[in-house]
Structure 1
Amino acid sequence: MTIYDHEANPIPGGAVSGEIATSDGTRLRFARWPALAGTPKGTVVLVQGRAEFLEKYFETVRDLQVRGFAVATFDLRGQGGSGRDPRVGPAGHVGDFRDYQADLEAVMAEVVMPNCPPPYYGVGHSTGATILIGSAPAMRTRFRRLVLLSPLLGFGDHGWPTTVIGPLAGALALFGFARTQVPGAARHVLYPRPFAGNRLSSDERRFARAAKLAEAHPELTVGAPTIGWIRAATDAMIRLDDIDFVDRIRIPTLIIAAGADKVVSNAATERFARTLKIGHMITIPGARHELLMESDIYREQTFAAFDAFIPGS
């Protein structure tokens, strides 16, 4: 399975890539890398956000490699180079976030545990962080620690409150519109344009790098989410908000929130963090949603928190 090089974004050394199939037959594209410094300190499993693809994380992979970690990541179903539902075209769709959790379970079983050195640390961005939370009770013997970056636990400033978005999406899905893209959204969005006013990053160079990757390989991109994806995200938020579920999380967890995040709700993240038994939250003031694609002043703070929390860093 191909991973793509780019002059501004070279593939980190030692890459091994391929594809696996999940229990329901969905094809997943993955890549893994060795540590670069002496005896490996373990493996970081990167779980991407919605509409992302593994090439976006090459800089982060290199940063982790030189810290002494092996790295594994994969494209979630419906995006990047992984299998897609042909009925939704370029839309971003999943019927249930537990399907994403099945993706993670397959990658752990078939890629990470047979090939990557333990212990294992989960790092998830946005939707990826939500997937890690949902998987935490089942993964308590696999992951030693979790780092959740800008987790999707509530929708941000999108014009409508979560309390309206969720029930509306549920009703529309019930009437047969689950695979319909959100009304009024662009059908196929290669990358947010222009840089000015974007909600993802204040770093123009990293923003442009991601945009060039999307333009060079549009087959990796997806458009706006479907109504079914919104319903699935809302259902996941409700499950994760249940105190009985949170009580089952036994993996030490660090949540890092972006202070200027308008994509997800920091208030929802704070509420969740207060219920964690063995976790805590920090906020990086001024940072936008994509902490690993942000300006150095914010990105370095993110890695400083990672280094303080992950043993061996």
Structure 2
Amino acid sequence: MHVMDGIESRHDGIVGSKRKRFIKKEKKIEIDLLYDEIRKGSRLHLSKAITLLESRAEHDQKAGQGLLRKLLPNTGESIRIGITGVPGAGKSTFIETFGLLLAEAGHKVAVLAIDPSSTVTGGSILGDKTRMEALAKHPNAFIRPSPSSGTLGGVHKKTRETMLLCEAAGYDIILIETVGVGQSETVVRGMVDFFMLLVLTGAGDELQGMKKGIMELADCMIVHKADGENLKLAKKTVREYRQILHFLQPATPGWSTTALPVSSLERTGFETVWETIETFYEKMEASGVWHERRQSQTKDWFHSMIRDRLIDSFFSQQGKKELVADLEKQLLTGEMTVASAVDAILPMD
């Protein structure tokens, strides 16, 4: 009986070893296939690669990072544009119209969306892409939501990796939309080259509900829905914003943020928007700011992932969650100070 146990155990070990080698070989073949197809511009395989990177399974994560390393030399050649806006500004309509005009002009456009609020419902922001149906059908366009995985840091990591995959697939314009409001604007500003803020007419009223900090993140302000009876007021709003922007700290050294009137309904103003972005690129590349910003983006990503990994590592340790919960109770009852609670978790040497 013991002899048979030994034989069975040895047999299981051999089979298990063969199975591991097979899985490894299969994963290598999958990476090679994904690499080739992504470089050819296959949207299907690009979606599969993004799903691989988003997977929480350890073997998928390793395979995804292996693919990303292989594709890395083919990244970085796009213009990364962040887009945010006040509620009701019509971001989706603007992005679809802008994306279609660029796609029709021969550009390859990828749209990625960030919504930290999706962590509450667990929902997918773009879902079936009904918000940008016409753009989603264009052969030069690719639309993908960025699930947050529970934190803004999760968004940070997934969106950046998705962006690199899109660049490797030949997308030369990446549009990153913030669906949520608040901290997400700062996160997106840290991963894009050019940042646009969409507003509506009536600058005086609008400023009451807009934080100065968000305006200072923008390289360009778009006064949207500048059409019909609203056109005259839109032009007035543009003038008001230009006056305001003159007194604010510019988002990019050597660049003066401006305001532009745009109508998605009439498809007007978009050429000026694109010319502004092209001028920005030329000036920033010539001055070295473009390269510096890209380096800053990489360092920001690196430090963000270190913080995320440390937090995950801390809470994965046995008893840490319970300890934090107990200390929180003591804090709320006034039994100890915040500094003392932190020392109890992370004692100083």
TM-score normalised over the length of structure 1: 0.38
More strand by share: 1
Larger gyration radius, structure 1 or structure 2:
2
* TM-score, normalised by the number of residues in structure 2: 0.35
Asked which structure has the greater RCO (Cα within 8 Å, sep 6+), the reply is 1
More helix as a share of residues: 2
